[in-house]
Chains A and B, each alone.
Chain A
Amino acid sequence: NAGVMQNPRHLVRRRGQEARLRCSPMKGHSHVYWYRQLPEEGLKFMVYLQKENIIDESGMPKERFSAEFPKEGPSILRIQQVVRGDSAAYFCASSPAGQGHEQYFGPGTRLTVT
């Protein structure tokens, strides 16, 4: 049973470009979470999705950031017009259900904005 997969593992973008981060949850998991980790900080929740639904996006910046989890295919975190402050590690996690269940994390995508 493959774990949570994220790609790319490393992504370099120039300021103003778009970044697309992909996450394939574990088989059988229908809940996906995205987090951002900055150096010397813990994980900051961004968005929680189920198939074709955004359940909670309270941690998402109001502009430039969007996420989706389509019926088929991976979940996508999209950052438009990236700025240097977007440089961070972005982690995806999945769980079989929501409440009380541990999350299984992918290896992360390290985004560097030059």
Chain B
Amino acid sequence: AQSVAQPEDQVNVAEGNPLTVKCTYSVSGNPYLFWYVQYPNRGLQFLLKYITGDNLVKGSYGFEAEFNKSQTSFHLKKPSALVSDSALYFCAVARGGSYIPTFGRGTSLIVHP
């Protein structure tokens, strides 16, 4: 079975400060890892993914994530937060060879002006 944990329901950060949204996973075999963002009353938007290769993955809107195999983590980061980054962020994992990702419960990011 595969699972994702997003340990923080909410993350608060001041505009201009760096942000981190945490994600840990459990999966057998090699993982495929994804981050999505959801704005109110909208569907999820893809931000970035890790399949193989460089552990640091760069994605949309200045976001990046680091795959850490030993810690089974895939934390989402951004060097300087914007108020417009405020949204719900979902981490997802799929076992290599599987079509079906498992999503975390989501972390609400609030960026204060």
Chain A interface residues toward B at CB < 8 A: 4, 6, 31, 33, 35, 40-45, 48, 55-56, 58, 91, 93, 98-100, 102-108
Contacts and interface: CB of A to CB of B under 8 A. Distances in A.
B90 A105 contact: no
A43 B90 contact: yes
A45 B102 contact: yes
Identify the interface centre among B94, B100, B104, B105: most chain A CB within 10 Å of its CB: B100
Interface residues of B, number: 24
12 contacts: A31-B99, A40-B105, A42-B106, A93-B44, A98-B99, A100-B32, A103-B44, A104-B46, A105-B36, A105-B43, A105-B45, A106-B43
B99 A48 contact: yes
Given A91-B43, A102-B49, A105-B44, A43 B34 contact: no
A98 B36 CA distance: 17
Interface string B77-109: 000000000000010001011111111111000
Contacts of B96: 99-100
A64 B34 CA distance: 31
B51 interface: yes
Nearest to B88: A42
B44 A91 contact: yes
A107 B99 contact: no
Contacts of A45: 100-103
B32 A99 contact: yes
Contact of B43 (A56, A100, A108): A108
Contacts of B36: 105
Contacts of A48: 99-100
Given A41-B105, A105-B45, 14 more contacts: A35-B103, A42-B90, A44-B103, A45-B100, A58-B100, A99-B97, A100-B32, A100-B94, A102-B49, A104-B46, A106-B43, A107-B41, A107-B42, A108-B42
Contacts of A100: 32, 49, 51, 94, 96
Contacts of A40: 105
